[in-house]
């Protein structure tokens, strides 16, 4: 598992497609444990989709799947996401 | 640097290979001329996309190696034998070839010119690339923030940017090497994996900010050791790359 783990920096391009903004400096609150981290610092696992996990409790924060034409975003694990405008 | 971070949609741009050279036997630097490039900050990366004649596309992320320099972007790419993109970039690409690129991407793992103390850059293998962009940007800016680079490589022949790192030394930047697998006969640097004792010796006393980049196990071992030594986790910025990076 460790070898497959990356971090939010690796999802920066994908997340910029979703949010049309730089997201690695955005700060998210984990709905599982309440930890607050920059998106660049969270754990990322990529396979058919991309899964972001809390680096403190490993709860799923966000799932992103794309087929090239559409993007599905599951944000259930993020209680709050704070982006600079 | 406000404004160069570029909010908004990423667009694919044509990037023409202007120059390329070997850094080591498995690592090549490509200088790309990117029309409309908005500029970048040291530590950011790009996505590179290749399209085969049958329409098959492969996309990978690569750290930018160069300081901001107009429409020129340098990538330093390590060839992974089972990779889809790096074999093309390191073996097939020639001056005049055009590839697709989008960026700059990222904002978390970027050089902060006002850290309020010393900076430590810790690179494992080709994880040195974004840290080199930071060292170069620091030199271009005439920034005197005390900066120590700890570069872990397997052997001296695997060290990228050797000559330039020697030239960049001074002006408050010093480079410490550890060669984990093989050391030259007269080697005076470290000869083991980066561990807590080594970091304790190398980390500046007034350390304010650390950037760590390399393979996931390397990055996590370094970050955990630094936290164990009492450094503030929020002042340790990490960027992991993994086996799918090629």
How would residue B2 be classed by pLDDT, with cut points 50, 70 and 90? Answer: very low
Of all residues in chain A, the one with the smallest CA distance to B46 is A13
Q: How far apart are CA B196 and CA B200, in angstroms?
A: 6
Out of A5, A17, A40, the one facing B10 most closely (by C-beta) is A17
Verify whether the Cβ–Cβ distance A8 to B108 is below 8 Å: yes
The pLDDT, as a whole number, for residue B7 is 56
Q: How far apart are CA B83 and CA B60, in angstroms?
A: 10
For residue B212, pLDDT over 60 is answered with yes
CA nearest neighbour of B120 among B145, B101, B140, B143: B145
Instruction: Note the pLDDT tens digit of each residue in B87-104.
Output: 999 999 999 999 999 999
The pLDDT, as a whole number, for residue B9 is 81
Q: How far apart are CA B182 and CA B159, in angstroms?
A: 12
Q: How far apart are CA A19 and CA A75, in angstroms?
A: 12
Out of B105, B237, B242, the one facing A4 most closely (by C-beta) is B242
Structure tokens at B200: 């304790």
What's the pTM value of the predicted model, to 2 decimals?
Answer: 0.94
Q: Return the minimum-mean-pLDDT range out of A29-33, B5-9, B140-144, B201-205.
A: B5-9
Structure tokens at A59: 């709860």
Please state the rounded mean pLDDT for residues B9-38.
96
Q: How far apart are CA B139 and CA B66, in angstroms?
A: 11
The pLDDT, as a whole number, for residue A85 is 82
C-beta pairs of A15-20 under 8 Å, 24+ apart in sequence: A15/A39, A15/A64, A16/B9, A16/B10, A16/B105, A17/A66, A17/A71, A17/B9, A17/B10, A18/A64, A18/A71, A18/A73, A19/A83, A20/B7, A20/B8, A20/B9
For residue B125, pLDDT over 50 is answered with yes
Which residue shows structure tokens 């001296």? B156
As a CATH number, domain B118-245 is 3.40.50.80
The pLDDT, as a whole number, for residue B172 is 87
pLDDT values of chain A reduced to their tens digit, one per residue, 85 residues: 666 899 999 999 999 999 999 999 999 999 999 999 999 999 999 988 999 999 999 999 999 999 989 999 999 999 999 998 8
Backbone angles phi, psi at B215, to 5 degrees: -60, 150
Structure tokens at B175: 């480079």
Verify whether the Cβ–Cβ distance A24 to B45 is below 8 Å: no
Backbone angles phi, psi at B46, to 5 degrees: -130, 160
Residues ≥6 apart with Cβ < 8 Å to B134? B42, B43, B111, B121, B147, B211
As a CATH number, domain B13-105 is 2.40.30.10
Residue to test with chain A: of B106, B131, B237, most A Cβ within 10 A: B106
CA nearest neighbour of B30 among B47, B40, B17: B17
Residues in chain A with CB shorter than 8 Å from the CB of B1 are none
- The per-residue pLDDT of chain B, averaged, comes to 93
Verify whether the Cβ–Cβ distance B103 to A10 is below 8 Å: no
Contact B51, B57 (CB under 8 A): yes
Residue to test with chain A: of B44, B111, B211, B242, most A Cβ within 10 A: B242
Residues in chain B with CB shorter than 8 Å from the CB of A24 are 106-109
For residue B5, pLDDT over 60 is answered with no
Q: What is the DSSP letter of B221?
A: H
The pLDDT, as a whole number, for residue B244 is 52
The full set of domain ranges for chain B reads 13-105, 118-245
């Amino acid at each position: 598992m460790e070898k497959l783990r990356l971090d939010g920096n690796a999802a920066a391009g994908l997340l910029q497609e979703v949010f049309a903004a730089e997201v690695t400096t955005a700060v998210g609150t984990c709905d599982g444990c309440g930890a607050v981290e920059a998106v660049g610092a969270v754990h990322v696992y990529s396979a058919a989709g991309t899964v972001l996990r809390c680096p403190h409790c490993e709860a799923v924060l966000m799932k992103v799947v794309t087929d090239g034409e559409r993007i599905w975003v599951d944000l259930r694990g993020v209680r709050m996401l704070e982006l600079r405008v | 640097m406000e404004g160069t971070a570029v909010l908004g949609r990423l667009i694919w741009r044509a990037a023409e290979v202007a120059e390329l050279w070997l850094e080591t036997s498995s690592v090549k630097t490509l200088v790309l001329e990117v029309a409309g490039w908005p500029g970048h900050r040291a530590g950011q990366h790009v996505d590179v996309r290749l399209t085969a004649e049958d329409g098959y596309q492969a996309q990978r992320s690569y750290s930018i190696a160069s300081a901001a320099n107009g429409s020129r972007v340098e990538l330093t790419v390590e060839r992974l034998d089972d990779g889809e993109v790096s074999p093309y970039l390191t073996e097939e690409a020639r001056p005049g070839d055009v590839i697709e690129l989008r960026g700059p991407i990222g904002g978390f793992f970027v050089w902060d010119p006002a850290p309020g103390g010393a900076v430590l850059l810790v690179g494992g293998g080709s994880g040195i690339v974004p840290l080199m962009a930071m060292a170069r940007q620091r030199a271009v800016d005439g920034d005197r923030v005390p900066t120590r680079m700890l570069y872990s490589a397997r052997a001296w022949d695997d060290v990228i940017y050797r000559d330039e790192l020697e030239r960049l030394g001074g002006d408050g930047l010093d480079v410490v090497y550890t060669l984990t697998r093989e050391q030259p006969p007269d080697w005076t640097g470290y000869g083991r994996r980066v561990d807590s004792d080594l970091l304790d010796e190398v980390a500046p006393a007034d350390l304010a900010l650390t950037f760590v980049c390399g393979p996931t196990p390397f990055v996590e071992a370094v970050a955990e050791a630094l936290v164990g030594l009492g450094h503030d986790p929020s002042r340790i910025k990490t960027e992991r790359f993994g086996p799918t990076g090629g």
